[in-house]
A = this chain, B = another copy of it.
Amino acid sequence: MEDHVTPRRVVIIGGGFAGLFAARALRHAPVAVTLVDRRAHHLFQPLLYQCASGILSEGQIAQPLRAVLRRHQNVRCLLADATDVDVKARLVHARRPEGGSVAVPYDDLIVAVGMRQSYFGHDEFAAHAPGMKTLDDALEIRRRLYRAFEMAESATDAEERRQWLTFALVGGGPTGVELAGQIREIAGHTLDREFRTIDPLQARVLLFEGSDKVLGPFGEPLAGRAARTLRDLGVELRLGTRVTDLDAHGLTVKDNEGTTTRYAARTVLWTAGVEAPPIAAALARATGATQDRAGRIAVEPDLTVPGHPEIRVVGDVMGLHRLPGLAEVAMQTGAYAGRAVRHSVEGRAKKPKPFKYIDLGSAAYICRGRAVVKAGPLHLSGVSGWLAWLFIHIAFLTGFRSRLGAVLSWSVSFASGARRERAFTLPDTANPPERPHGAPAVSPQR
């Protein structure tokens, strides 16, 4: 009477690509899955910059986890922030948003908590330079981008106006490159003819990168072509620079020769690094697993934590083979872990094959009509790269109800430069807030 046996309890922490794909791989397994996430939505992170820049709405890139998984009868979603793992009692401890905590028992644990923005020990930078990891971050960046042009328009002092029209981006990876392109497009295309005092095209976009190239992992010739496209677009690259100081009025960088330069900029956005959230350290403490410098957890070739075959780590926070923090890696590791649990439940005695990443390539959007795509021996840039980007993203959005909406939003934006989602909220300056509220802060947390 197998039906009457309590099903094996699988807890998945994190509803990003890794967690979602793990849950999906368990769909037809006789298990009881609890998906714990501190956000109620699954975020389509590769398009987060388009939410920040006003092309897409929150709902177009963030679907409620329980809506995505509504047909998965064996999955229960729990909105709570996992704070600790008790590996002896096999319990995940989590805090509920409005107070109170829960302990969720597991037989198998899949840790898919992702990475959060890192300020390399300078957490005080976060207040002046939001990162780009969460929906909050995207809304904060949207607010700062469009507010900067408003402030420049109303500035009576020329120097202040210049500062509002200077945008500094720290980090030359895909997100930094994408945001740089977006700001130049907003300035040259979206805001065209809307201002009376300023010319939005005067907006300076500075991109700071520690290494000697943008999009380094794409290799040559793509990295070089991306740099050329960015320069053609009017983005000023400052390669081989490291940020030493940062405040509300600008930042100071040091270059490879040791020269220090100060840049006045009222908008600074940070995409330079990632670090593991606190729950990763808690897991490492509890299991004795080692973490790399960024906090990624070292795992066995089958993604289990050494000595804990019941705990698997997947996605960005998983430290195997120094794999890049890509959606594709998260999906493949998540699905692998889900399948491994299913096979184990189904009693397949054979030890699973080690996880092997199938590199399907990577893509970075630069601007309308320009993207770089690397897929095996294939190196695409310019218009062909952009068409490949478009095809990939429409294909990947499949299954989300918002695909039609995104395609419509892109059509309008690509054709006319108009961006529908430009509305932003502002704190009340005349009557400053004095009450508690539910709105989030800019913070470096995952």
- By the criterion CB–CB under 8 Å, are B423 and A150 in contact? no
Task: Report if A402-B420 is in contact (Cβ < 8 Å); known contacts: A146-B64, A438-B143.
Answer: yes
- Chain A: residues with Cβ within 8 Å of the partner, total of 85
Closest residue to A99 on the B side, CB-wise?
B429
- By the criterion CB–CB under 8 Å, are A440 and B439 in contact? yes
Q: Which of B60, B195, B443 lies in contact with A433, CB distance below 8 A? A: B443
- List the number of copies, as a whole number: 2
- By the criterion CB–CB under 8 Å, are B431 and A443 in contact? yes
Please report which residues of chain A, range 409-446, place their CB below 8 angstroms from some CB of chain B when the two chains form the complex: 412, 418-431, 433-443, 445
- By the criterion CB–CB under 8 Å, are B430 and A445 in contact? yes
Contacts of A98 in B (CB 8 A): 147, 151, 266
Contact string against B for A residues 102-143, beta-carbon threshold 8 Å, 1 for contact and 0 otherwise? 100000000000000000000000110000001110011001
- By the criterion CB–CB under 8 Å, are A278 and B95 in contact? no
Contacts of A197 in B (CB 8 A): 76
- The answer to the question of A96 belonging to the interface, with a C-beta cut-off of 8 Å to chain B, is yes
CA distance A369 to B351 in the complex (A): 57
- The answer to the question of A373 belonging to the interface, with a C-beta cut-off of 8 Å to chain B, is no
Q: Which of B420, B424, B442, B445 lies in contact with A401, CB distance below 8 A? A: B420
- By the criterion CB–CB under 8 Å, are B442 and A150 in contact? no
- The answer to the question of A80 belonging to the interface, with a C-beta cut-off of 8 Å to chain B, is yes
CA distance A29 to B154 in the complex (A): 24
Shortest CB-to-CB span from A10 to chain B, Å, is: 14
CA distance A160 to B429 in the complex (A): 36
- By the criterion CB–CB under 8 Å, are B83 and A40 in contact? no
Q: Which of B95, B127, B418, B435 lies in contact with A435, CB distance below 8 A? A: B127
- By the criterion CB–CB under 8 Å, are B151 and A431 in contact? no
Closest residue to A192 on the B side, CB-wise?
B70
6 closest cross-chain pairs (CB), A and B:
A433-B441, A57-B57, A439-B439, A62-B423, A59-B421, A127-B435
9 A-B pairs whose Cβ atoms sit less than 8 Å apart in the complex: A38-B430, A39-B426, A58-B421, A59-B420, A59-B422, A81-B430, A140-B439, A401-B412, A427-B439
